[in-house]
Structure 1
């Protein structure tokens, strides 16, 4: 019996994927510089130590968009890397919120606790939504569309006038400016 590939999952080990990871309830957690730094540090760790290849990325206040692939297809499982990235950043950021100072500490922890209560996989807190909505980029048109979408997100939110001016995005790299995460450019 042949299994049907699940939609929105990493079915092709050699594929390049557009992924969105979202904080539960779309909570605006990444409004604090320290939480943004933790995400960037974790992303860089996954690139250096876990075989993640990042082609594009953008961290928004409640979610992150990534275009990713494996450095060694077949040997690296993207699903495992994203799981580890989410697990580590969740634990780190929740610890930071618990330690304070965070003006929304009680409210955020209450939301994370509530989300965990709805999910048997979590015991105390759930930071990230379960799904990643992974979409394989199969055509140049779809790839370009997702790349532009990622980079234009901060512009659409009114945070910057030009995409390359947003620090937490690979739009900087694509415009020749130094970025925070090593990028493997899409041809």
Structure 2
């Protein structure tokens, strides 16, 4: 999705989800800013200025703010709930009319399950 990320993940081996999300957002923010600075992008100045101004009010020293605060975690307690969330994630690009089929969205795990070329390494769930 161009404006948001839908992710189904789990903290394991003593890792806490809030720490994973903090580190993930920090790493991806740096990569996004680096890519914008290095690649030809017509909105480069606008985006960099926006990211910089978005953190001016923060107490901690931060140069760019790419993500909104927080995340929307939900506790998964059943296979039915996992299937529901995976279906929501997969059909989101279809609902937004970005693609016709879930597996047509290049950054979707639906490609992994369909046996198509994929960019994402995932753990295949034996639920489908």
**Fold agreement, TM-score > 0.5:** yes
User: d(CA) in 2 for partners of 1:109 and 1:169?
Assistant: 27
Match 1:124 to one of 49, 63, 71? 63
Relative to structure 1, is the Cα distance of residues 161 and 138 closer, same or farther in structure 2, using a 3 angstrom cutoff?
A: same
User: Within 5 A, what are the aligned runs for 1:73-152?
Assistant: 75-152=14-91
2:6 maps to which residue? 65
User: When the two structures are superposed, what TM-score results if normalisation uses the length of structure 2?
Assistant: 0.85
- Hey, what's the Cα distance between the residues in 1 that align with 2:105 and 2:48? 28
CA positional deviation for 1:183: 1.8
User: How far apart, CA to CA, are the structure 2 residues paired with 1:104 and 1:122?
Assistant: 25
C-alpha deviation, 1:137, in angstroms: 1.3
Bigger share in strand: 1
Number of aligned residue pairs: give it. Answer: 126
Q: Residues 122 and 139 from structure 1, CA distance in 2 versus in 1: closer, same or farther, beyond 3 angstroms?
A: farther
Go from structure 1 to structure 2 and tell me whether the alpha carbon gap of 1:163 and 1:122 turns closer, same or farther (over 3 Å shift): farther
**Contact 2:11–2:17 at 8 Å: present in 1 too?**
yes
In the alignment, structure 2 segments of 5+ residues that lack a partner are: none
**Aligned mates of 1:114, 1:139 — CA distance in 2:** 42
Alignment check: 8 A CA contact 2:11 2:20 kept: no
Aligned equivalents of 1:179, 1:99: Cα separation in 2: 25
Report the CA distance shift for 1:177/1:101 in structure 2 as closer, same or farther (over 3 A).
Answer: closer
User: Are residues 109 and 158 of structure 1, via their aligned partners in 2, closer, same or farther at CA, if it must alter by over 3 Å?
Assistant: same
Give me the CA root mean square deviation: 1.8
Q: Cα distance, 1:71 vs. partner?
A: 4.1
Higher RCO structure, 1 or 2 (CA under 8 Å, sep 6+) = 1
Partner of 1:166: 105
